[in-house]
Structure 1
Amino acid sequence: MVNEIYYKHMKYIIVGGVAGGATTAARLRRVDEQAEIIMFEKGPHISYANCGLPYYIGGVIKERDKLLVQTPESFGARFNIDIRILSLVTSINPVKKQVSVQSVKTGVTYTESYDKLVLSPGASPVKPPIPGINLPNIFTLRNVEDTDKIKSFVDDNTPRTAVVVGAGFIGLEMAENLHHCGVKVSVVEAAPQVMNMMDSEVAAPLHHHFKEKNVALFLKDAVKEFKQVDDTIEVNLSSGRIIKADFIILSIGVKPDTSLAKAAGIKIGETGGVWVDEYLQTSVKDIYAVGDSIEFPHPITGKPTIAFLAGPANRQGRILADNMVYGHTRKYKGSIGTAIAKVFDMTAGITGMTHRGLKAQGIKHDCTIVHAGSHAGYYPGAMQMMLKISFDPNTGRLYGGQVIGYKGVDKRLDLLATVIKNNGTIYDLQEIEHAYAPPFSSAKDPVNQLGYNAENIIRGLFKPLSPFKFAKRIKKDVFVLDVRTPEEFSIDAIEDAVNIELDAVRKNLHRIPKDKKIMIFCGVGLRGYVAARILKQNGFDKVYNLSGGLKVYRQTMDEQSNAIFFSSEEKQNELVSGSNGAGMPKIEVRQMVVDACGLQCPGPVLKLKDSIDAIEYGERLEVKATDPGFYNDVASWCNVTGHQLISRENKSGEIRAIIQKNKKETENQATAKSDNDHKTMVVFSDDMDRALASFVIANGAASMGKKVTMFFTFWGLNVIKDVNRPKLKKDVMGNMFDKMMPGHAGKLRLSNMNMGGMGRRMMKLRMKDKNVDALETMIEQAQQSGINMIACQMSMDIMGVQKEELINGVNIGGVANYLEEAEQSNLNLFI
């Protein structure tokens, strides 16, 4: 325990208030009643809730006085501090231990001496030299005075449109609050995503939320110029697009205010902040600094960093006050940058290092993503969230965490931050003992699940696959396995994926090649992990599971911007808009209401599928769900099934959709559609050129969504022989056929100009030169497209061909099988 030491007649001067300066002053008084404490503040306010400023502008916080934590009068009276507002410190003389102060009102300058000096100047908004940036009605938001200007403009002028430049925390909070006021909002961001400190796949749900809220979003587009045109401002973007708005909010970022420190010869760090040691003392003795202006080593990387956050500034103030009174006994351990923001109905938070940050620092790491509910799914009101962590693949040390969702985000983020700040590991996540009851969590909390997933990766039970690496896959080297249900597959399929439902994987191992990378995916990643374990334990080595499943992949790869050009002639629609731009109409629904809240993918779609049968044609069904992916899934499901999506909305994370049941197709319509979608062919020849023609036609039809059946008979069996076929025991005739026939597709002859194999080699070279896929690649594409390949059993028996010699996925059948398929086909070829 530190003994209390009182320094009589010690004189402290603090430059700047708010979080860092005000906290330092209050703590100083509590531990040193005899000291003389003077606080200088260039503005009229010394302590205010700057994080609450956007919510006052948006009308969420009704009373302005609630933003003022302490007035100069109340703070001075309670802590016996000499508060001097509207007083600008213009210079420091470290040798004489004096500061020069100028009255903002009178311009009179005087000096004041100190024993110890604290700098808390904060940060200032970045205003780049963009033409027109100083036009009227272009605002920045940093303090109460800025807030008053924006609030007065909004209240007095009732603007219809606004552009927010910059999509960081403050920019997004301003966009939300202006939207709340009924203003049509456009957000412009030069980076390819909002909240650029987060990883792309975590920010992607926010982009989709912008679309649900009908808020314009222009990503990868910087402002080139502002122009005043009559009563509006034209925002000219680098892409050449022009956005018109009644006013502009600049939220491009902030920079440390170091002008006073620089002029005094105080060391400035490599990030541009004031350098301080572990006791928060600057390079000059008895001069200290706190808050947004200082640079300190990051607890994880050890590299210099700055944190523009109120929490660290408050902690620094308390530590510093103790060090100045008791001596240098308390070390500041730095900040891991824990931050959270409300973005419309969603909440997004970050702590520690992201994948992007770790990669930039060259720190080896792995990541995992978990989708989970805010509490037990069977208890009403559960909302989905996405969590991502990064960690050391050897020691398991936790490096960072990101969480996004509708409820429970802050609780999980705080748990992750606590483990990271204490140098904890993914094993500590497993051991977290959380408060559990169905309304609050699940028995296995999402944070526990992150720890379990990470351990599985470290132990090599499966390999994680990011959506970006999945998108860049070389298709001929990869077998993509979709383990979702056939219903899910029919709604949203990936072109080269083969659908084998999870519960059927063990029975279909023969369809999965062992000589390729196996990339598995499901809806959110859980079923993919189970499938990966099945394959790994059945001799498959290169098995990868898509992190976050198809949900994260689709969100990340979809168009992220939402380019809407608003007119200033009408107010923002109060109703939430869907992707078609139509608001949610008020519909009297007297039919069944299906509550799928709490169910994860594919639960809501499956429940919808089962429930639609319970109503009559022409009637409507209302479905409520909390799985974020259901917003797009329900539209896709209606497109596939032919039912009509009347409306949909996302309100605070609960998605409500109204579907009208349409009549089934007549038998004649169904038959016609089936005929148009089904193509069959008999492959009789093993000539290379004829085999090529067969697979060109088959793959082309499959790419157009047609069902394709290929029946291989007699010499055609040689086309589908496996290049790595085992050595089998055959009778005399079987061995003779085996020696006389091509061993696999790579050995096929040309029908003309074969010339002892030279023609075949010339043809392959020519195909490569013209970027035409090899026959082997076309066969792989056919497998991945789900083309039904049937080998004729009778031909196999005659020619001594055994099932083990054929490639994976070929079905063995007879003429009846083929004729059954041909009966439903409107195109039948013999090659």
Structure 2
Amino acid sequence: MKHIIIGGVAGGATAAARIRRADETAEIVLLEKGRYISYANCGLPYYIGGTIAEREKLFVQTPTSFGTRFRIDVRVESEAVAVDPAAKTVTVRRADGSTYTEHYDKLLLSPGASPVRPPLQGIGTEGIFTLRNVDDTDRIKTYMATHRIGRAVVVGAGFIGLEMAENLHRTGAHVSIVEMGNQVMAPVDLSIASHVHQHLLQKGVALYLEQSVERFEKQGEQVAVVFRSGERIMADIVILSIGVRPETSLAESAGIRIGETGGIRVDEYLETSAKDIYAVGDAIEFPHPITGKPWLNYLANPANRQGRIVADNMVFGNTTRYEGAIGTSIAKVFDMTVASTGLPAKRLRQLGIEYAASTTHSASHAGYYPDALPLTIKLTFEPRTGRLYGAQSVGYDGVDKRIDQIALLIKRSGTVRDLAEVEHCYAPPFSSAKDPIAIAGYVAGNIVSGAMSVVSWREITDAACRDGVLLDVRTPMEYAFGTIPGAVNIPLEELRDRLDEIPKDKAVYIFCAVGLRGYLAQRILTAHGFRQVKNLSGGYRTYSTATAPVENRPAAHPAQPETADPDTQRPARFVKTLKIDACGLQCPGPVMKIRQAVDALSDGERIEMVATDPGFARDAQAWCNTTGNRLISNSESKGRYTVVIEKGSPAACDGATPCDDRGKTLILFSDDLDKALATFVLANGAAATGRKVTVFFTFWGLNVIKKVSKPKVEKDFFGRMFGLMLPSSSLRLRLSKMSMLGIGDRMMRHIMKRKGIDSLESLRRQALDSGVEFIACQMSMDVMGVKREELLDEVTVGGVATYMERAERANVNLFV
């Protein structure tokens, strides 16, 4: 029997070797239009960057060695240009342009995929490359050897794009990544990709998200990459990694059926619509095991597996079925590892499939063993049965083995309960007694069983959640480092004694650092009769990472040792430095360690802390700004963050203003329209600086926060009298001067509208949206007969002690 295989990489080469092992007498012809077969195309970026030093290591086999070992007729630089299924022939074009025809009994198509090169102006400019094969690699290496590469631009932030970014950075180039979407790495959700965003920024890579390239322009020795927004960046080399498309031209010309996604359609035996013609690899589409819908899967592992299966079917008849692939993928991005399997949340939403999700943060191994690094796992699953749909993980160590284990469960239609049943090998250097997979399974199981109701970070940012109460149950120190706008801080340990501060008629959204304390708080509230309680999945760590701004900045550098002054030749002063190892500690551990250590130092002394919690490292500068200490350096290497802080004293520290907080409080005593406007202008301005802002409404100021449509409430005689005399809502407020029986009030609002100035009600809403806290004075409400139901839903009620606690934490207090 004669087998012809078109394409000598991955699936094609695997099939050829498998056919020979199955049938020693078969005639096998392998046609490859390029000069190389069986090479490691996934290793190409690492050869360009120098990680793989020797080019020869990219080749698993040469045409000669492969042909000799397996007795295969390997023909390189031989392109199949036509297939006749009826005659069972293939027309082949040699390198010199001549053609000939070969007959086959069985034919395998493994043409792969080709890189996308959109018809952009200037795309053919010198210095612009795609990377798909060895020839592309050689061209890039030659160009880099003959040109000075100071700036590199990678267009497209998929796997190859990010790997190229890292390896170009390794050569010393300043790298910029341009991506049309709002995130890198399309196979994962934004909350996972955000970890990669921050890591890239820490390495000094510039990110231009949601930017489309309009054209390229040659400017001297450089290429200008021009965005549709008008912005442009300069480059010495440009790598296009926009994507690939299946190479189907040969199949189409032969009349072979092409599927709805644009790939060659094959059946469960990997046979095409033409009898005795099979196809594998990047060129085919096949039903997804979870959705049943056809999809394209550009990964090497499935291509090699397909090669083994199709070889058996070509030799023995259609006996072995292919089960399909769920897209298990992994990438190294500098020190970070990102992996995914199955369907992410965004894909499930696109398909209209109902799902639930959980996010957990664990350590890669036992926290007490050195170098325990953070590991995040996100699961998607069917909300009632718990059937696993997908998993994503990001971290520095152990990501690969966790995703591999989950991938097998997904392919076997496993559930979240199966995660807890996976029996892991355990020793402190490798895992914890409760492995991150088991923890992810426990959390997801609680969601499925109804033991824990969750809210996602996206839902927290939506307006729907603003009608509820955001409850931060972390410590006051963690709260001071940063919180979700509008959140109230009641530490978990104080929760049972402060239940009366939480309204039972509102939804309560709880969060802590990673979700565990939030779950405990949720159980406490539920046990005390609270019915609308949800825990933020993944905690503040997920929220803060997913919402962190992408701000391009130079790469951080480690602290340099102080040397002698070159002018005076005087030796540098000795700086006492206390070294702290906080690796493996989860938040708030590193925060508490650094605070305790700083308090014990004298001015001018330093702390060098190494931690694996990126939260503190990311906010170190802000923490120093608010505490009066000095950030000397902030660097990262392989998931370990080194922060050097010098003890200092705030310049503006006095007895009236605490040194460790700079919030703003305003007391609104008046219900004059102009004074209310001034109050909200000041509050919004203060909130824009990122400070905590509280407005305390007392006596006449209560009228500013009344609802327009108020429910009927029971009032005593004096309450009804006050109600008749006082403004019913902010729409009835008057000017302090020139009111003129209401004419001036209406004139003021008219002028503000004409000049495009926000109304009082709009300014008030902006303040609430910015997280400004509204507190109504309980005593004033009692005196003036104002009921809680008459006030805006976002308003909380407090007394003197509540105000004084906010005032003590502020360095500005205004009375209006």
Per the normalisation by structure 2, the TM-score is: 0.87
Alpha-carbon distance between aligned partners in 1 of 2:161 and 2:806, rounded to the nearest angstrom:
62
1:297 lines up with 2:287 in the alignment: yes
Aligned to 2:173: 183
User: 1:197-596 counterparts in 2 under 5 A?
Assistant: 197-474=187-464, 477-560=467-550, 562=552, 577-578=555-556, 584-586=559-561, 590-596=576-582
Structure 2 counterpart of 1:103, one-letter code: R
Determine the structure 2 residue equivalent to 1:652. Answer: 638
**Selected match of 2:119 from 129, 133, 139:** 129
8 Å Cα contact 1:393/1:458 also seen in 2: yes
Match of 2:593 in 1: 607
Instruction: Tell me the SS of whatever aligns to 2:79.
Output: strand
Task: Return closer, same or farther for 1:237/1:536 CA change in 2, 3 Å cut-off.
Answer: same
Q: 2:152, 2:173 within 8 Å by CA — same for their partners in 1?
A: yes
Q: Among 2, 9, 12, which residue is 1:11 paired with?
A: 2
Residue by residue over 1:601-654, the C-alpha shift from the partner in whole angstroms, topping out at 9 and shown as x without a partner, is 221111100111232210111011001222222222111111000111011110
User: Can you give the 5+ residue segments of structure 1 that lack an aligned partner in the other structure?
Assistant: 1-9, 565-575, 729-734, 754-758
Whether the 8 Å contact between 1:605 and 1:633 is mirrored in structure 2 is no
1:28 has 2:6 as partner: no
The CA deviation at 1:505 is 1.8
Question: Shift of residue 514 of structure 1?
Answer: 2.2
Which string of whole-angstrom CA distances, capped at 9 and with x for unpartnered residues, describes residues 383-409 of structure 1?
A: 112211110011111001111111111
What SS is found at the alignment partner of 2:463?
coil
Q: Retained in 2: the 8 A contact 1:742–1:748? A: no
1:86 paired with 2:72, answer no
After superposition, the Cα gap between the structure-2 partners of 1:739 and 1:122, relative to the gap in structure 1 and judged at 3 Å, is: closer
> Any idea what the Cα deviations from partners look like across 1:47-100, whole Å, max 9, x if unmatched?
111111111111101111111001111111111111111111111121221111
CA spacing shift, 1:87–1:669, aligned 2, 3 Å: same
Distance 1:43 1:539, change over 3 A: same
Shift in CA distance, 539/124, structure 1 to aligned 2, threshold 3 Å: same
User: Given the superposition, is the C-alpha separation of residues 485 and 228 from structure 1 closer, same or farther in structure 2, using an over 3 Å criterion?
Assistant: same
Give the secondary-structure state (helix, strand or coil) at the position aligned to 2:413.
Answer: coil
Alpha-carbon distance in 1 for matches of 2:812, 2:88? 95
Question: Using a 3 Å threshold, how does the CA distance of structure 1 residues 691 and 192 change in structure 2: closer, same or farther?
Answer: closer
Matched, 1:627 2:618: no
Q: 1:332 to 1:706 in 2, by over 3 A?
A: closer
Is residue 709–residue 790 contact of structure 1 (8 Å, CA) maintained in 2?
no
Q: For the Cα contact (< 8 Å) 1:605–1:634, is it kept in 2?
A: no
Deviations 1:692-715 (A, max 9, x none): 7998699679858588695968x9
TM-superposition CA deviations, 1:417-459 (whole Å, max 9, x none): 1111111111111211111111111111111111111122222
How much has 1:502 moved relative to structure 2? 1.7
Are the equivalent residues in 1 in contact too, given 2:504–2:531 (CA < 8 A)? yes
Residues 147-156 or 72-81, more deviating: 147-156
What does residue range 711-750 of structure 1 map to in structure 2 within 5 Å? 742=723
| In structure 2, C-alpha distance between the alignment counterparts of 1:324 and 1:552, rounded to whole Å | 49
SS at match of 2:10: helix
Q: 1:64 to 1:721 in 2, by over 3 A?
A: closer
2:22 is aligned with what amino acid? V
Equivalent-residue separation in structure 2 for 1:215 and 1:748 (angstroms): 52
Residues 560 and 802 of structure 1: CA distance in aligned 2, closer, same or farther (over 3 Å): closer
Aligned 8 A contact 2:627 2:660 in 1: no
1:557-595 Cα shifts (integer Å, max 9, x gaps):
233363x7xxxxxxxxxxx823xxx66434586421011
- Matched letter for residue 580 of structure 2: V
Instruction: Please list every run of 5 or more consecutive structure 2 residues that lacks an aligned counterpart in the other structure.
Output: 563-573, 736-740
Whole-Å separation in 1 of the counterparts to 2:259 and 2:806: 78
What is the rounded CA distance, in whole Å, between the counterparts of 1:596 and 1:123 in structure 2?
Answer: 47
How far apart, CA to CA, are the structure 1 residues paired with 2:4 and 2:811? 89
> Is contact 1:369-1:547 (8 Å) kept?
yes
Paired amino acid for 2:606: R
SS at match of 2:312: helix
Partners of 2:224 and 2:767 lie apart in 1 by 53
Check the 8 A contact 2:38/2:62 in 1, yes or no.
yes
SS in 2 for 1:363: coil
Distance of aligned partners of 1:512 and 1:129 in 2 relative to their CA distance in 1, 3 Å threshold: same
1:663 CA displacement: 3.0
Task: Give % identity.
Answer: 48
- The alpha-carbon deviation at position 535 of structure 1 amounts to 2.1
How many Å apart are 1:285 and its aligned residue? 0.6
Contact 1:695 1:782 in 2 (8 A): no
The structure-2 alpha-carbon separation of the partners of 1:675 and 1:622, relative to structure 1 and needing over 3 Å to count, comes to closer
What is the one-letter code of the residue matched to 1:654?
Answer: R
| Aligned-partner Cα distance in 2 for 1:60–1:825 | 53
Q: Which residue of 2 aligns with 1:731?
A: none
Distance 2:101 2:92 in 1: 6
Deviations 1:665-710 (A, max 9, x none): 6874655989997768696x9x898997998699679858588695
SS at match of 1:280: coil
Amino acid at match of 1:45: Y
Q: Output the CA distance in 1 between the equivalents of 2:609 and 2:534.
A: 34
Q: Residues 725 and 664 of structure 1: is their aligned pair in 2 closer, same or farther, counting only changes over 3 Å?
A: farther
Q: Say whether residues 1:69 and 2:60 are aligned partners.
A: yes
CA pair 523-115 structure 1, distance change in 2 beyond 3 A = same
Counterpart CA distance in 1 for 2:803 and 2:22 is: 90
1:364 to partner: Cα distance: 0.6
1:294-341 per-position Cα deviation (integer Å, ceiling 9, x unaligned)? 111011111111111110011001111111222211100111010100
The 8 Å contact of residues 341 and 407 in structure 2, kept in 1 or not, is answered as yes
How many angstroms apart in 1 are the aligned matches of 2:63 and 2:124?
A: 31
- 1:55 aligns to what? 46
Shifted more, 663-672 versus 643-652: the winner is 663-672
1:813 positional shift: 6.4
1:31–1:817 distance in 2 versus 1, CA, 3 Å: closer
Distance 2:97 2:661 in 1: 89
Letter matched to residue 163 of structure 2: E
State the SS of the aligned residue for 2:60.
strand
How far 1:739 sits from its partner (Å)? Answer: 6.7
Q: Could you say if the C-alpha distance between residues 54 and 827 of structure 1 is closer, same or farther in structure 2, counting changes exceeding 3 Å?
A: closer
1:550 alignment partner AA: Y
Residue 140 (structure 1) aligned with residue 121 (structure 2): no
Q: Give the Cα–Cα distance (whole angstroms) in 1 for the partners of residues 26 and 202 of structure 2.
A: 57
Contact 1:702/1:787 (CA < 8 Å) preserved in 2? no
Cα drift, residue 271 of structure 1 = 0.9
The residue correspondences of 1:682-761 to structure 2 (distance < 5 A) are: 703=687, 742=723
Aligned length: 786
**What is the deviation of 1:519?**
2.1
| 3-state SS of 1:110 partner | strand
Question: 1:747 Cα deviation (Å)?
Answer: 6.4
